[in-house]
Amino acid sequence: MAGEEGALAEQAMKGDRDAFTGLVRMYERRVFALSCSLVGDYHTAQDAAQETFLRAFKGIQTLREPEKFGKWLVGIAYKVSRNFLRGEKKKTVAFPPGLPDSLAVLVKEGADGDLKAKVIEVANGLPDESRALLALKYLEGFSYAEIGETMEIAPDLVKSRLFAARKQLREKLGTYRTGE
């Protein structure tokens, strides 16, 4: 995918709208899932995802490494979602029924549906920064350095804050938690 991603990004940088449409198709689900994880509302996440792609389209000329389009796009999605959060009251739930439970990756495979639902419920209740850290680490698979770059914090802080976010999640799960 990286080769295809880089080729499409290079074409999009030259003004090829079809290439940009290909990038949108490649990343629309990931950007929406990340936005939903961060803003906590289905409709707001749709708006944030749309705004993300609009900003990416307008700013594609600033992309320095076309083969890293996805990471660049996630950075935009994070910043857009953060801006949406600033303008909104506290969210209700990040994953209404029927949405993919992207944060359920924190649960061991084979865990029952009740545990996965509980993880989502608890993750929805975490502070915004904790949810963002978990989403970037487990949904996007970012390294500490990449998370730090995206969130504009030092990688050492990422590590300690991610540790704290996982600890909050474990503590709030309480009796639902299974052995590690």
Which residue range forms the structural domain that includes residue 135?
A: 102-176
Considering 86, 114, 144, which residue would you say is the last residue of a domain? 86
Residue 106 is assigned to a structural domain of this protein: yes
The secondary element (H helix, E strand) that includes residue 86 is helix 69-86
- Here the tokens at position 101 are 């439970």
Q: Does residue 92 belong to any structural domain of this protein?
A: no
pLDDT band at 69 (very low <50, low <70, confident <90, very high): very high
Q: Confirm whether 56 is domain-assigned.
A: yes
Name 155's Cβ contacts closer than 8 Å, sequence gap at least 6: 144, 145, 147, 148
pLDDT digits (tens, 9 = 90+) for 112-144: 566 667 777 787 788 888 888 888 888 788 899
Are the CB atoms for 48 and 91 separated by under 8 Å?
no
* Owner of token pair 């850290």: 133
User: What pLDDT does residue 137 have?
Assistant: 86
Query: Which residue, of 61, 86, 111, is where some domain finishes?
Result: 86
pLDDT band (50, 70, 90) for residue 36: confident
Digit-coded pLDDT (tens) for 131-180: 888 888 887 888 999 898 888 889 899 999 999 998 888 888 875 554 44
| Residues 152, 72: Cα–Cα separation, whole Å | 13
Cα–Cα distance measured from residue 106 to residue 42, given in angstroms and rounded to the nearest whole number: 21
99, pLDDT greater than 70: no
Domain presence at residue 122: yes
Query: Does residue 97 belong to any structural domain of this protein?
Result: no
Mean pLDDT of the chain: 81
pLDDT value of residue 85: 80
The domain tally of the chain equals 2
CB atoms within 10 A of CB 75: 20
Q: Do 81 and 106 reside in the same domain of the chain?
A: no
Q: Which of 39-48, 84-93, 155-164 has the lowest mean pLDDT?
A: 84-93
Degrees, nearest 5: CA angle 149-59-82 = 45
